[in-house]
Structure 1
Amino acid sequence: MAWSKESRQSRGYGAAWDRIRKLVLARDFGLCQVCIKQSVYTPANIVDHVTNKAKAATLKWSQARIDDPLNCQTICKPCHDVKTEAEQGKKKRPVVKIGLDGWP
């Protein structure tokens, strides 16, 4: 996906989003919520909309509902990439998790 030429504020990622992001990271203890469902504990620093902003807009959600912390989760980059590709209709590739012992 190409970088947008719009500012982050005009895309809805201003000071209010920074506060929500900080709250979600703290709530989720900085751990990927997708990995936790597989009993894998992966540090993460991306806050993702569970229902993405494009889909939420087609559902006529308000901005407050889109950015509600209940619609946000902490997610690691590999899981975020897989989720984004799936949302964009691309082929889903498996996420390989490395355990604490260094092996998949």
Structure 2
Amino acid sequence: MRSILPSWGCVHNILGSAVGRIIIAWKPDFCDVEVVTSMDQHVLVEVKVTGGFVILLSIIYGANLYIQRRSLWSYLPVVCTLVKPWLLAGDFSVIRDASLTSAFLILQL
């Protein structure tokens, strides 16, 4: 990342996942970012924006198999007990209805 965005800050979860599924990059003159937790499906950071605004940011890349996502779902309620604004973003690898997937026609067979 340093060669692509040399003046940016960067954190990732390569240590928590053999494939390093999550990368977070930011401009240091805009905010400070501190890792709170890093797991294979989730990275939680505290973002301090210039000017004093603080927010928790969860970046999620859910496992493909629902059984593997259970650890993610059990951890998220712990985060919501923290008394700060919290933003969740990412790919939860789950859909509400089969019609919402690009494979809908295949799933109907």
Shared fold (TM-score, shorter chain, > 0.5): no
Larger Rg: 2
TM-score tier by shorter-chain length is under 0.3
Using structure 2 for the length normalisation, give the TM-score: 0.24
| Structure showing the higher strand proportion among its residues | 2
Q: Which has the higher contact order (CA 8 A, sep 6+)?
A: 1
